[in-house]
A and B are shown apart, each in its own frame.
Chain A
């Protein structure tokens, strides 16, 4: 069942859109009230996979892990990560839900980084004291949904259960009460490219190729969020995608930054350069405009990319 077919399904449309409209009319909205474009989903997902960060001893040297680690093994009574080593992908934190930009900001503010279930069991939800995300926190951020658990991702009737051979970008694989991964490319199914917030030992958001012929995946359900749309990118979505790019660049680029936007086919669609005089980004559309030590370093070392499926022309 393709996403386009879903668009033509009136019953599905009513089921998905009427409740939020009613909620708006009644003055509250507990679920997101608008759809989200697949390009936006992939841009958000990619940003948390490819953020590059280097913790300091302030982020790793806190006594938080020992004070919340009464039920932990010895190695979890300290930070997973090493100071001054460069990592990629938002750190794993059980109960956490930080998107990349919040993660970066909190690192800079000196928050401890990364946690596990044993810390949660002792000190409760670490979201206000430790930075990072867990698997469902990551998927909910990418889907632009309120934070729910894997149990709810697997059972909410506002999501569609599909066959694994129908998987498309933006769908998830979820095991009730356990783990979830975001599907990025299922073209070579049973080999599927996924993004996930992985716990021990990776301890972070990562890209991975899985093989659905491994019977381990039989316990996972394939789930589609009918709010995810494809087709033309609306102005509103375009602005959201651009904002992701701006946040990516702003977080790491310093006073002058540059970010290249790619579509899912890998073709460069735009180059943004951050102006020195203000905090605006300009679409310079010149590939060589990023050449130069400071700017190229931002691209090459941090490697941040925003994925856009359709050509865009953001002015």
Chain B
């Protein structure tokens, strides 16, 4: 009887361990679809970040200055070359897709860069406010590094705070307040499915602990965790390849 329980528990625990393994959604060795670029200053340029809409995953290929669109089956469906505004292939660090626009947060020039989603043409450049989090004690928590979208409304922020941005006024939206993330957490993504955060080495999405934070080799300045069809996916850039995998 005890032996049966022991065997059963080993089988169950083995299944459980298998269930915890990340499921790979997309993988491509460097040099296939994406390439690594080493610049004059010795920095390695690769993928800038991810964004997801219903059924599509957008990958910002900073090395080539383009957006690569992947469908929910993991197949590449479109490549959009982005028009340069004079910083080579850099369009911004983080980005979102809204209707027929791609909006990049250009944290270098402190502007929102707007692109046509079909043609990649650079259509607009808007300033954004830089002093919204000025009451924050730490400089790292005052700088704006992230952009999200809630319906059609733009959200700007960082790992600790965010606010709704009124692009017509170039200011924080009226009658809105700065919202802060609970202590010990870092905000990674916001969309209709909820927030994705990181805390204590775990990915927490819509209030639930999903799994350990995947480790990337190369830096990703934009979003590396997104919801796609209510599932959390992570961008991981290893020394050999680009991987997008389900976090679990």
Contacts and interface: CB of A to CB of B under 8 A. Distances in A.
B87 A203 contact: yes
- Top 5 nearest A-B pairs by Cβ distance? A178-B42, A201-B88, A199-B41, A199-B39, A82-B86
Interface of B: 37, 39-45, 62, 65, 85-90, 93, 107-110, 130, 134-143, 145, 158-159, 186, 213, 215-221
Nearest to A207: B143
Contacts of B40: 92, 94, 116-117, 134, 199-200
A209 B145 contact: yes
Given A200-B89, A208-B221, A303-B130, 15 more contacts: A85-B85, A87-B108, A88-B108, A88-B109, A175-B42, A179-B41, A191-B159, A197-B41, A201-B87, A202-B90, A203-B90, A207-B108, A211-B219, A215-B217, A216-B219
Interface stretch (A5-13, A182-190, A271-279): A182-190
Contacts of A157: none
Contact of B87 (A80, A86, A216, A264): A80
A264 B139 CA distance: 7
Given A175-B42, A179-B42, A188 B109 contact: no
A82 B125 CA distance: 14
A135 B219 contact: no
A311 to B, nearest CB: 15
Interface in A165-207: 175, 177-179, 184-185, 187-188, 191-193, 196-204, 206-207
A188 B138 contact: yes
Given A185-B139, A188-B141, A202 B86 contact: no
A112 interface: no
Nearest to A76: B88
11 contacts: A92-B40, A178-B41, A200-B89, A203-B87, A207-B143, A208-B221, A214-B218, A214-B220, A216-B218, A216-B219, A266-B135
Contact of B41 (A134, A207, A264): A134
Contacts of A141: none
Interface in A207-263: 207-211, 213-217
B186 A87 contact: no
Interface string A295-315: 000000001000000000000
Nearest to B44: A216
A208 B140 CA distance: 9
Contacts of A99: none
A258 B199 CA distance: 43
A150 interface: yes
